[in-house]
Structure 1
């Protein structure tokens, strides 16, 4: 197990492109100690493992794995999202999503699977194939699959690679089971990569809708101080209007939602 811990810490340090000296300074120890730990010549205590992992911004799930490899119990709980213990978190997330109306917003887990969405997002996906709306609903797949939103994305060739590149960056920094398989699956669904001068990170989503063309930019929000594995892996993605016509169209959709339905 000690060798697994040594290899794990070394892998995370290499992934973060941090030298042994820099890691030692961050963690409040010496380069010699870090070197001994990575070579298996020194067995770090529980607190040192946590300090090293925190200094390397290792995700909480993987921090627990490092602790177990070092012979210690996990330090971070993993509470099911629907459990009573996360009731306050769920309430807060629902309020945040509601506050984003009339703009679409979702909360997803580390694999991009839908956890929560506001009504504005559900309206955008109203004509999506039921296959893609069956749990677990994967948002990248929903966006890029031909039976999903893909046929309505005007700038699909550019925006699809924006999505795939973001997934690849996340997988490189914080690997998760199935990430590579999902990237491979989605890559097979999209056109060849555009010329190098495409907008990359700045690509907006140009989406056709029954209420006119929508131009949307996306924002990503994470919990910065989570101490529960489940909460730490949640992220909120909001789709915001890139121009006034889009904002107006989304406000109109929201007013339509609020109208009483005649029976």
Structure 2
């Protein structure tokens, strides 16, 4: 059992009601998804019935809850946690950590970085340092080895709302896309709600600015840099079906050149 499991746990009824509220799912719809009666769902949420371990796992999965919240619910119900919570620098995750490092390095000279659930930069390759230097962002980035997650103190949303965002040429499209993404993520990550409000302000102020096509095939972020205008597509990749709380919270953002000029600048 993890150290979190040994500490004081929130009431199961609070965890379940809050998780369902965030997903805006009724008790009736949840009961249909789980194959149980609405009465049973109500009794569990009121603390009048104790769910089995199997039902609780299906329950949290149906609500799209993070693995950490699923562990929390299990422990609150008196069950053992289901998902590993080893930190990224533990020996249990040596292979996964090496795979992340190799992916970042293999993507060079294009930028690639590893983010946690709060958009903190856990690791970054040389391409990210090059791009940040090109747009005039002065931060101390971590290297491509994610052995010390979160140690850099660099948050990508802070940069997007500050120096990095100031270099973006197509703010209306980028802000609208980021706002949509953050709203979706904030459903299961309440810490992002303040970020949603901040980005909403930027998106609203930029909504009437001149821009290109409203819905391009894929968002292209254009930066003003000392190498001229650079354009990047963005792609996120995650571990497939992770059973680790730590791995489930991570994703790699890959920057892909969107035009010949950007490829040429990277080549130089």
TM-score by length of 1: 0.80
Residue 211 in 1 paired to residue 227 in 2?
Answer: yes
C-alpha distance after superposition, 1:138-188 (max 9, x if no partner): 01212331xx223322223542343344223311x21243x2344455667
Task: Give the whole-Å Cα distance in 2 for the aligned partners of 1:5 and 1:123.
Answer: 47
Range with bigger deviation, 23-32 or 93-102: 23-32
Task: Give the whole-Å Cα distance in 2 for the aligned partners of 1:54 and 1:197.
Answer: 42
Note the 1:48-63 alignment, pairs <5 A.
Answer: 48-63=55-70
The gaps in structure 2 that reach 5 residues or longer are 1-7, 143-150
Match in the other structure for 1:258: none
Task: Give the whole-Å Cα distance in 2 for the aligned partners of 1:231 and 1:9.
Answer: 23
Q: Is the 8 A contact 1:132 1:142 kept in 2?
A: no
Q: Is the 8 A contact 2:219 2:234 kept in 1?
A: no
Q: Is the 8 A contact 2:179 2:203 kept in 1?
A: no
CA RMSD of aligned residues (A): 3.1
User: What secondary structure does 1:95 align onto?
Assistant: helix
Note the 1:142-161 alignment, pairs <5 A.
Answer: 142-145=159-162, 148-161=163-176
C-alpha distance after superposition, 1:44-68 (max 9, x if no partner): 1222211211122210111122122
Change (3 A) 1:196 1:190: closer
Range with bigger deviation, 4-13 or 41-50: 4-13
2:255 to 239, 248, 256: 239
Residue 162 in 1 paired to residue 177 in 2?
Answer: yes
Match in the other structure for 2:81: 74
User: What secondary structure does 1:74 align onto?
Assistant: coil
Residue 180 in 1 paired to residue 197 in 2?
Answer: no
Count of residue pairs the alignment pairs up: 248
Task: Give the whole-Å Cα distance in 2 for the aligned partners of 1:2 and 1:132.
Answer: 35
Task: Give the whole-Å Cα distance in 2 for the aligned partners of 1:139 and 1:239.
Answer: 14
Range with bigger deviation, 75-84 or 227-236: 75-84
C-alpha distance after superposition, 1:187-223 (max 9, x if no partner): 6778714139973795421112233311112122222
Q: Is the 8 A contact 1:152 1:207 kept in 2?
A: yes
The gaps in structure 1 that reach 5 residues or longer are 254-263
Match in the other structure for 2:205: 192
Residue 136 in 1 paired to residue 153 in 2?
Answer: yes
Task: Give the whole-Å Cα distance in 1 for the aligned partners of 2:140 and 2:261.
Answer: 32
